[in-house]
Amino acid sequence: MGIFLGLASAIGWGTGDFLVRGTTRKVGSYVSLFYMQFFGLAFVLVYALATGELAEGLGRFDLETSLLMIFFSVVSLTGTLLLYNAFRVGMLAVVSPIAASYAVVTLVLSTVISGERLEGATAIGVAATIIGVILSSIEKQHTPTPAQQAEIPSGRGFRLPPGVLFAIGCALIYGFIFWMQGFYITPRIGPIMSVLGLRVLAVLLMPILALRIASGLRLPDRRSGYILFAVGVLDTAAFIAASVGLTTEQVSIVTVLSSLFSAWTVLLAWAFLKERPARIQWIGIVLILIGIVLVTLGS
Classify 200 as helix, strand or coil: helix
Residue 192 phi, psi dihedral angles, 5° rounding: -70, -45
- Cβ 59 vs Cβ 242: under 8 Å: no
Amino acid identity, residue 238? Answer: A
Percent of the chain at pLDDT exceeding 70:
88
Question: What is the predicted pLDDT for the residue at 19?
Answer: 96
Tens of pLDDT along 36-72? Answer: 999 999 999 999 999 999 988 888 899 999 999 999 9
**Angstrom distance (rounded) from CA 208 to CA 199:** 15
Tens of pLDDT along 282-291? Answer: 999 999 999 9
Buried b (16+ CB within 10 A) or exposed e, 70-101: eebbeebbebbbbbbbbbbbbbbbbbbbbbbb
**Angstrom distance (rounded) from CA 47 to CA 38:** 15
Tens of pLDDT along 241-286? Answer: 888 886 765 666 777 788 789 999 999 999 999 998 888 899 999 9
Tens of pLDDT along 213-233? Answer: 655 678 899 999 999 999 999
Exposure of 47 by Cβ count < 10 A (0-12 exposed, 13-18 middle, 19+ buried)?
middle
Cβ neighbours, 10 Å, residue 163:
26
